[in-house]
Structure 1
Amino acid sequence: MDDVKKLVTDINNKNLAPIYLLMGEEAYYIDKISDYIEANVLAEEEKGFNQMVLYGRDVTIEDIVGNAKRFPMMADKQVVIVKEAQDLWRTIEKLVDYAKNPQPSTVLVLCYKYKTVDKRKALYKAINKAGVVFESKKFYDNQVPDWIRRTLSTKGYKITPKASLMLVEFLGTDLSKINNELEKLQIVLPQGTEISPSHVEENIGISKDYNNFELRKAIGSRDDIKAFKIVNYFGDNPKDNPMVVTVSLLFSFFSQLLQLHGMTDKSPRNITSALRVNPYFVSEYLDAARNFPMRKVSGIIATIREFDLKSKGVNANAVPQKDLLKELVVRILN
């Protein structure tokens, strides 16, 4: 992210703001920036007297202001980091007076995770004027594989598209969780390795053959035998393969197929851009579009919606999810 690079560059150049508000749904970059400030603003010999880490659940706004107004000892700056600042959401606006006139010799860092400070209120405006506001937005599913690729590239690794999508399917869009698993792979695999589905299966425990992307591929190519093998596997391992995730992915897939049918330009490049899919999977979508005409796709989407409700207990009469999923796949393929 360009904003992160700029922040790091400014910190390295000692172009420091008196107050940083790091906020947003994605905690990964909030932690990374906070850790970077903690590690790099002060020299090691300065940290003992001039660096303090506070936690929102343990302090008041008055505590934060009191610490921020102290002068550094035998150093030009002091650093005050408030982690889990979102725990102060009821009183955070009381920080506005300090934010309007922050101590120049203090670097105050507020780590406000999983939510944002109200941008309409005075505190946000004051910090945005006197310091730096960084908003860490949640990644969309289709953005995460590229983030994985770029993250690994900086460490000297590559990854196949399928392997990265396996990680996203299993771990979601939580970048911290994904990064933890990537670090495990980097420990066991030599630099320069292209991480494959087999590497992911062997070291993280995600099946390369029985996952939602393989189910999507099997359905799209009308490979009934493979589709039902995967469905049976899901039914036997429901904790690792919740039906709600499978239904959501199938709904997204057939919605994209409907969009594909309506496109006049069906070149791989245009499909990649319009559907926001990895070029690696374009052939699967074209294959599925040939196997499922537009009218059929419209009916399938209605069927998926019906089974989404049933999976949540609506008009399902306590039918096991394994049986519901089998019936859904039968309806799609017939």
Structure 2
Amino acid sequence: MKENNFERVYLLYGKEYYLLENLISTLKSGLNESMLDFNFDIIDGKEVQLDQLLSSIETFPFMDDRKVVIVKDFEILTGNKKNFSDTDEKYLIEKLDNIPESTVLAFVVYGDVDKRKSIYKKINKVGKVCECKKLEGMDLFSWVKRGFLKLNVEIENATIAYFIEQLGYKEKNSEMTLSDVKNEIFKIASYTGENNLVTNDIIERLSPRKIENNVFKMVDNIGMKRADIALKIFKDMILDGESPLKIMALIARQFRIILKVKDMQNENMKFKEIASSLGLQEFVVKNASRQGANFSEDILTEIINYILESEFKIKNGLIGDEIAIEVLISKYCK
């Protein structure tokens, strides 16, 4: 694409919206900017009908070598057919053999597609199918590193790995995209300043998961019976404007993770298996396992039940939200 060499038909799909939008921009960049209104069509695939789609495909470009037709979230590719009959679908599939040489047709689906569909198989045969998955491993590491370098800040490889861990981008159920990662990189680089070193402390201070990190430290200190440190972390979060109920919910979540990990380890499951089963990163499971060494299963169950009872009492005005957390820390640090 960057060399202005285009297929006639594309299917671009996946959960990494940032990469999908970059591909659309690349398709667009091959056109004459002054003629975009005539030669760059974006069509809503959930509402488009066959005659409208064919009209856009078959219209010749105006004062340019090609036109680009983008069809977003085309219903047939996702398993639905609100506006297309079986006959319409069959006709379109046949038409894909004869897309005008001056047209680039790109179906863009923000999510998964039904690979059993005849139209998917046809595009795969006559054009190019590209799945934009979330970046993983060294691809993600290199992408993040380039992002920091472009902003002229220094960052060590170990710090990049720490930054990636703190983001939560890799978590199974995370909705974070590379666009969010890019924003976090810019935020940290702006705070650090040009030619200065990014440190773990800066990343932690600016992390979108700062509250989660603080709750993790609280649980750590409760397990080690250090009530004074756990209470200080809690008070600092309140001073930062965090909601006590949100803090309590995150405390409950962490203790549930610890209990689940403990149960699964008792069944001789490996960290990797547990992480996959719970939809968590392996390092999260390892940390929960480490924390679990400081609590028996009975105490973990008791803490979770205490939080549930406290939430009920808070909602019914029987106890203050901050006091409920302070009592939890004091009670289980004895």
TM-score (norm 2): 0.65
**Is 1:26–1:136's contact at 8 Å kept on the other side of the alignment?**
yes
C-alpha RMSD of matched pairs (Å):
4.9
Q: Which amino acid aligns with 1:252?
A: I
Q: Distance in 2 between matches of 1:320 and 1:183?
A: 39
What does residue 251 of structure 1 align with? Answer: 256
Equivalent of 2:143 in 151, 165, 173:
151
Shift of the alpha carbon at 1:76?
A: 4.4
Q: Distance in 2 between matches of 1:256 and 1:18?
A: 50
Q: Distance in 2 between matches of 1:152 and 1:208?
A: 23
What does residue 101 of structure 1 align with? Answer: 95
What does residue 66 of structure 1 align with? Answer: 55
Q: Distance in 1 between matches of 2:42 and 2:106?
A: 9
Within 5 Å, which residues of 2 pair with 1:9-20?
11-12=1-2, 16-20=6-10
Answer yes or no: is 1:291 the counterpart of 2:281: no
What does residue 111 of structure 1 align with? Answer: 108
**Is 1:160–1:195's contact at 8 Å kept on the other side of the alignment?**
no
What does residue 277 of structure 1 align with? Answer: 282
Answer yes or no: is 1:23 the counterpart of 2:20: no
Q: Name structure 2 gaps, 5 residues minimum.
A: none
Within 5 Å, which residues of 2 pair with 1:184-203?
184-188=187-191, 189-190=193-194, 193-198=197-202, 201=205
Q: Distance in 2 between matches of 1:123 and 1:92?
A: 15
Report how many residues are paired. 308
Q: Which amino acid aligns with 1:52?
A: D
What does residue 23 of structure 2 align with? Answer: 33
Return closer, same or farther for 1:77/1:71 CA change in 2, 3 Å cut-off: same
Q: Name structure 1 gaps, 5 residues minimum.
A: 1-10
Equivalent of 1:213 in 213, 216, 219:
216
Q: Distance in 2 between matches of 1:315 and 1:240?
A: 9
**Is 2:264–2:274's contact at 8 Å kept on the other side of the alignment?**
no
Q: Distance in 1 between matches of 2:331 and 2:67?
A: 65
Shift of the alpha carbon at 1:77?
A: 3.1
Shift of the alpha carbon at 1:93?
A: 5.4
Shift of the alpha carbon at 1:152?
A: 2.1
The structure number with the bigger radius of gyration is: 2
Q: Distance in 1 between matches of 2:221 and 2:43?
A: 52
TM-score (norm 1): 0.65
Return closer, same or farther for 1:232/1:315 CA change in 2, 3 Å cut-off: closer
Return closer, same or farther for 1:272/1:125 CA change in 2, 3 Å cut-off: closer
Shift of the alpha carbon at 1:245?
A: 4.1
Return closer, same or farther for 1:30/1:205 CA change in 2, 3 Å cut-off: closer
Q: Which amino acid aligns with 2:108?
A: C
Q: Distance in 1 between matches of 2:229 and 2:126?
A: 60
Shift of the alpha carbon at 1:206?
A: 6.5
Shift of the alpha carbon at 1:174?
A: 1.1
Q: Distance in 1 between matches of 2:274 and 2:83?
A: 46
Q: Deviations over 1:153-184 (max 9, x none)?
A: 12326335554444439x95411323223233
Q: Which amino acid aligns with 2:10?
A: Y
What does residue 168 of structure 1 align with? Answer: 168
Answer yes or no: is 1:123 the counterpart of 2:122: no
Shift of the alpha carbon at 1:66?
A: 1.6
**Is 1:93–1:123's contact at 8 Å kept on the other side of the alignment?**
no
Return closer, same or farther for 1:245/1:18 CA change in 2, 3 Å cut-off: farther
What does residue 3 of structure 1 align with? Answer: none
Return closer, same or farther for 1:79/1:273 CA change in 2, 3 Å cut-off: closer
- The DSSP-based 3-state class of the residue aligned with 2:282 is coil
Equivalent of 1:79 in 53, 68, 73:
68
Q: Deviations over 1:296-320 (max 9, x none)?
A: 1x33554566468668869985666
Q: Distance in 1 between matches of 2:313 and 2:22?
A: 43
Shift of the alpha carbon at 1:67?
A: 0.8
Q: Distance in 1 between matches of 2:26 and 2:208?
A: 32
**Is 1:119–1:125's contact at 8 Å kept on the other side of the alignment?**
yes
Percent identity (aligned): 21
